[in-house]
A and B are shown apart, each in its own frame.
Chain A
Amino acid sequence: MSDLELSVAAKDTGQTRRLPAEWLWSAMLPIALVVLLLGFAAVDSRVLSPANLLNIAQQTSYLALFAMAQTVVILTRGFDLALGPTVSMVSVGTALAMAGATASGHDTTTVLLAGLGAGFGLGIACGLFNGVVIALLGVNPFVATLGSYNIAIGVATTLSAGRPVQGVPGTFSQIFYGGNIFGVPAAIAITVAIGIVLQLMLARTVFGRSLYIIGTNPRAAAVAGLPVKRILVLTYVLCSALAALGAIMMTARTGSGEPNLGGSLSLQAIAGAVVGGTSLAGGRGGVGTAVLGALFVTILSNGMNLTRIDGYVQMVVLGAIVIIGVLLDRLRLERRQ
């Protein structure tokens, strides 16, 4: 991944060789991750127990998926504030569809398909709305997704009457939460699979490459003949579809449709992406940065929980970490230039 972003940056600035300390900057976050993990382990040895490591991996897989979704749009200089409410709306919609299909006596397969259809349908609708408003109407991504943020919250709480939606069939939870592929829990397996596909798409397809070009220089992308508007709409649809997948996995975990499931996920996903080194100025980042950032945020909160650091103090620490992460990234960029 870093090769890719470097090649883009190199073309952009006319730079042809790497700076010697570049690998050190790239290795900084992984090193920080290990230091963090060992530091927490020194306070409480349970941090490194196999059960907790599996727990961290599982928790990370949800946030990583959302951070990937966010990264895709951030690459094009956008972001999706509505991601969290989209997750809530999809969760409620999926649960309602399945409860409804069960009540009208359909077999399990139909029920599951109804749930998935409703979930992805709502997610894609939300992405289409964002994409059309941003790309075709030219509204700033912040305002557009702040608008859909409110709309999705309203829809989610109205559909569910503000209460958890019961009636999610056990099979659904068994497949998307309890299930495993060669012993790997479903959530981790799905996220890894999606991560690989997304990475290939970003690195090897015309669509993927054009996201970097649009983010690096939108005007050049348009001059080069890229259908920028169509690509942007697709990008927001992809982002919301990934969010919908995450929402379906989280609904399987809780076993009910939750109107508050998304809560602060929008900002957490942005924080994860940004801490991992995705640039809000566009054109820099990828699956790797999203996963690293999500891992960092998850390990930090898991470690603080295990070492019994007050939840309110955790908010302060997370806030500071986000700022420091971006500051380091900026210093790294300055060095490179």
Chain B
Amino acid sequence: MSTALTATQPRTSTGSGRSIAGWIGLLPALLVALVAGMSAIDPQFYGIINILNILRNASFLAIVACGQALVIIAGGFDLSVGAVVALASVVTAKTMAAAAVAFPGNNALIIASGVAAGLGCGLLVGLVNGFCVAKLKVSGFVVTLGTMSATAGVGLMITSGIPVYGMPEAFVKGFGRAQVLGLPTAVYLALAVILVTMFAQRRTLFGRYVYAIGGNVDAAVVSGVSIQRHIVGTYVLSSVLAALAGILLTAQVGSGQASFGGDRMMLQSIAAAVIGGVSLRGGVGRVEIVAISALFLTILGNALNLLHIDSRLQPVFLGVIMVAAVALDELSRRRKSRV
């Protein structure tokens, strides 16, 4: 749907480019204000345990949001990421448990097979999404709505909703809960994902073509960009990154659960992308800002918890901030384009 819309509604790229530049300044400022305010109110906030907790959770969200951002920049949508996190988690755990029985003691093989199976799930869902959107031309919203339901169903079917145990200690204690130079392993992986995506966005043909497709799909076709291949690529990346987050979550918790991810992770990843300046009209957005906004959302949730704000009321804050962020962006774009 979105690709069709962007095709019929060419935008003024100069206006939105400037407003995004405005955002780059605003979001870190908000982040600093939030951190400073919370540190003043509650010393628990800058305790080492809380900071590690925030960084770990922000890493999971940032990894998923990176993929989501790529899909949105190309003019699509991926509603299935939350379900992929869950499926990758249970498949990884199941495979490791089975491999542990088949090859006792061979940790390298057990872990490799589990991780491969988990990432394989992501690859598969991404290919289905990409195929339906690019080749069959079904709207990305509907396709991923369908695969979300199907993927969540498969995850629950495999486990009957019961957590899966039986992963080797080396995977849980040696990787998932391990710390390198004082930071959880997930943080390094998230940084690697962000840096690679940044590089891809700026310096590779794939990254440039993704912007081109989202910006003006007709122009991209005329310029000889292979639209289908690159759209499939964005959906595959999004699902594989979601699967990676699922595997990391599994390693940290120590069991595979079909309740990981879910609607919450999906909505948060879209919120992170959108607050991070990714335009739902496609063609605009930078992954490093998305990562900052993932950190911002995580800290916001953490702050609301520390301030003892009823967890039931917390979604209200998230909703208001999301709408306000996008409304501000839209208004500043209008003002700029009027000048």
- Tell me the complex Cα distance, A148–B320, Å: 8
Interface residues of B in 299-338 (CB under 8 A from A): 310, 312-320, 322-323, 326-327, 330-331, 334
| Complex contacts, A161 vs chain B, CB 8 Å | 312
Q: Which residues of B have CB within 8 Å of A310?
A: 157
B274 within 8 A of A: yes
Min Cβ gap B139→A in Å is 5
Q: A146-B271, A150-B315, A280-B1 are in contact. Are A323 and B132 (CB under 8 A)?
A: yes
The reply on A57 being an interface residue by CB < 8 A is no
Contacting residues, chain B, for A280 (C-beta < 8 A): 1, 139, 141-142
Q: Is B112 an interface residue (CB 8 A)?
A: no
Contacts of A260-278 to chain B: CB distance below 8 A: 267, 270-271, 274
Query: Closest residue to A157 on the B side, CB-wise?
Result: B312
B-side interface size class:
35 or more
Q: For chain B, what secondary structure do more than half of its interface residues adopt (helix, strand, loop), or is it mixed?
A: helix
Check if B280 sits within 8 Å of A140, measured CB to CB.
Answer: yes
Known: A143-B274, A312-B156, A323-B142. A138 touches B330 (CB 8 A): yes
Question: B153–A147 contact, CB under 8 A?
Answer: no
B312, chain A: closest CB distance, angstroms: 4
Kindly specify which of A29-37, A62-70, A234-242, A313-321 makes contact with the partner chain: A313-321
Interface residues of A (CB under 8 A from B): 77, 133, 137-140, 142-144, 146-151, 153-155, 157-158, 161-162, 267, 270-271, 274, 280-281, 310, 312-316, 318-323, 326-327, 330
Known: A151-B319, A315-B153, A316-B149. 16 other contacts (CB 8 A): A138-B331, A139-B326, A142-B270, A143-B280, A147-B320, A147-B323, A148-B323, A150-B315, A154-B312, A280-B142, A312-B154, A313-B157, A315-B152, A320-B150, A323-B138, A330-B138
The 3 closest A-B pairs by CB, nearest first: A315-B153, A150-B319, A319-B150
B residues with CB within 8 A of A: 1, 4-5, 77, 132, 136-139, 141-143, 145-154, 156-157, 267, 270-271, 274, 280-281, 310, 312-320, 322-323, 326-327, 330-331, 334
| 27 residue pairs bridging A and B, Cβ less than 8 Å apart | A77-B5, A138-B327, A139-B330, A143-B322, A146-B270, A146-B322, A147-B319, A147-B322, A148-B319, A148-B323, A150-B315, A150-B318, A150-B319, A154-B312, A154-B315, A157-B312, A270-B145, A312-B156, A313-B157, A316-B149, A319-B150, A322-B142, A322-B149, A323-B138, A323-B147, A326-B139, A330-B137
